[in-house]
Amino acid sequence: MIGFLVVDKEAGWTSHDVVARCRRVLGVRRVGHAGTLDPGATGVLVLGVGPATRLLRYLSSSVKEYRAEMILGVSTSTGDDEGEPVARFDMAGVTPAQVEAAAAAFRGEIDQQVPMVSAVKVGGQRLYRLARQGVTAPRPSRRVRIDRLEVAPLPEPGTYALAVTCSAGTYVRSLVADLGAALGGGAHLRRLRRVRAGRFTEADARPLAEIEAAWRDGQPVLRSPLDGLELPSAPVPLELCPSVRAGRAVAVEAWGDLPPGPVALVDPAGALLAVYERAEGQPLARPAVVLGPG
């Protein structure tokens, strides 16, 4: 069994909960996920099943798209509405035009500090575990990219709808907190939903209950690995397929103009055999992920 499972995660589940549930439902031990979603968040969570778990590295770096709400005037301990209020600000006079002007400064490449509730390790410990103990640790900054940041006022005072398209590794809660600070106060996140992860959108995602019912009825639930890989692909001649399945280095000239970096190699029937990579100027491509014989 191999493929990607595109789950529409509901609130209250951790990404690990979803993986554990799918292991039981599918009867497969090798299941992993690409791009963690917080328990309070909903939306697209992509799982790799079987050998496809080794392909998740290519999905984890994909562009993500989110919808959320920003609440002005209150900063929380977690940056979202699940945390405790830590500061309050009078931001009743902030206008939509001011919010838009502040948002403009966050479009493009920015440096973002990792939140204390993240899974990033500092001194060998996960930040979120330190946060639960009331410990504050120095947090690293990351360079991220905000391709799209749209803000629109909602009927509830001080509340704005957000649409964010960003690079992998971007923390939307940090973006909201920084935007609140740029407006002279504070803000926190509410109703975060991931609507796209790489090639997969919320239209591709199905709730766990629906996936389980389909699986019990014998319906297909997995997507082909090629559906999710945002990589150039190259056909492999039939006579070279055994070498690729065995993970042997192959001359690039064997299938034409292979670009530097990772490339998905497919057999004459269109099935994914492996992902190979080659460095600039090198005549040989070498295996990064081989899906094995068969």
| 153-to-106, 134, 205 alpha-carbon distances in Å | 18, 34, 28
pTM of the model: 0.88
- For residues 147-157, average pLDDT: 97
Active site residue 217: no
pLDDT of residue 29: 92
pLDDT of residue 135: 58
The whole-chain average pLDDT of the chain stands at 88
Q: For residue 47, is pLDDT > 80? A: yes
| 73's tokens | 């005037």
Q: Sorting pLDDT into bands at 50, 70 and 90, what band is 119?
A: low
Domains detected in the chain: 3-62+199-226 (3.30.2350.10), 64-197 (3.30.2350.10), 231-290 (2.30.130.10)
Of all residues in the chain, the percent with pLDDT exceeding 70 is: 89
Cα–Cα distance for residue pair 265/225, rounded to 1 Å: 12
Q: Residues 261-294, buried b or exposed e (16+ Cβ, 10 A)?
A: ebbbbbbeeeebbbbbbbeeeeeebebbbbbeee
Q: For residue 59, is pLDDT > 60? A: yes
Q: For residue 279, is pLDDT > 70? A: yes
- For residues 25-41, average pLDDT: 90
Q: For residue 17, is pLDDT > 70? A: yes
| 151's tokens | 């803000």
pLDDT of residue 294: 47
| Closest-CA residue to 115 (of 139, 83, 80) | 139
Distance of CA 109 to the CA centre of its chain: 18
Cα–Cα distance for residue pair 104/100, rounded to 1 Å: 6
| 160's tokens | 């704005």
Q: For residue 196, is pLDDT > 90? A: yes
Q: For residue 71, is pLDDT > 50? A: yes
pLDDT of residue 77: 87
- For residues 53-71, average pLDDT: 93
User: Catalytic pick from 8, 17, 38, 204?
Assistant: 38
